[in-house]
Amino acid sequence: MARRKYVVGNWKMNGLHGAIAEAEAIFVAAQAHSAVDVALCPSFTVIGAMAAVARRVKGTVGGQDCHPAASGAFTGSVSAPMLVDAGASVVIVGHSERREGFDESDDDVRAKGEAALAAGLSVILCVGEPLAVRESDGAIEYVLLQIAGSVPETFDPQRLAIAYEPIWAIGTGLVPTLDDVAAMHGAIRGALADRFGAAADEMRILYGGSVNGDNAAELLGAGDVDGALVGGASLTAAKFLPIVEAAATLG
In this structure, are 85 and 161 located in the same domain?
no
Please say whether the beta carbons of 161 and 208 come within 8 A. no
Please say whether the beta carbons of 123 and 159 come within 8 A. yes
Tens digit of pLDDT for each residue in 192-238?
999 999 999 999 999 999 999 999 999 999 999 999 999 999 999 99
- Asked whether residue 111 carries a pLDDT value surpassing 80, the answer given is yes
Residues catalogued as catalytic: 95, 165
Q: What is the mean pLDDT of the chain?
A: 97
Q: Is 192 helix (H, G, I), strand (E, B) or coil?
A: helix
Tens digit of pLDDT for each residue in 35-53?
999 999 999 999 999 999 9
* R_g of the chain computed on alpha carbons: 17
In this structure, are 1 and 69 located in the same domain?
yes
Mean pLDDT of 155-175: 94
CATH number at residue 44: 3.20.20.70
Q: What is the share, in percent, of the chain residues with pLDDT greater than 90? A: 96
Q: Which domain holds residue 161?
A: 138-210+218-231
Tens digit of pLDDT for each residue in 57-73?
999 999 999 999 999 99
If one counts the domains in the chain, the total is 2
Answer with the one of 93, 123, 149 that is the final residue of a domain.
Answer: 93
Please say whether the beta carbons of 87 and 51 come within 8 A. yes
- Asked whether residue 251 carries a pLDDT value surpassing 90, the answer given is no
- Asked whether residue 32 carries a pLDDT value surpassing 70, the answer given is yes
Domain assignment present for 73:
yes
Within 10 angstroms of residue 97's Cβ, the number of other Cβ atoms is 19
Domain assignment present for 245:
no
Per DSSP, the chain holds a count of helices (H) and strands (E) of 10, 8
Q: Are strands 227-230 and 36-41 parallel, antiparallel or unpaired?
A: unpaired
Pick from 54, 31, 34, 50: nearest CA to 42: 50
Q: Which residues contact 137 (CB under 8 A, 6 or more apart)?
A: none
List, in sequence order, the alpha helices (H) in 151-177. none
Identify the pLDDT of residue 1.
65
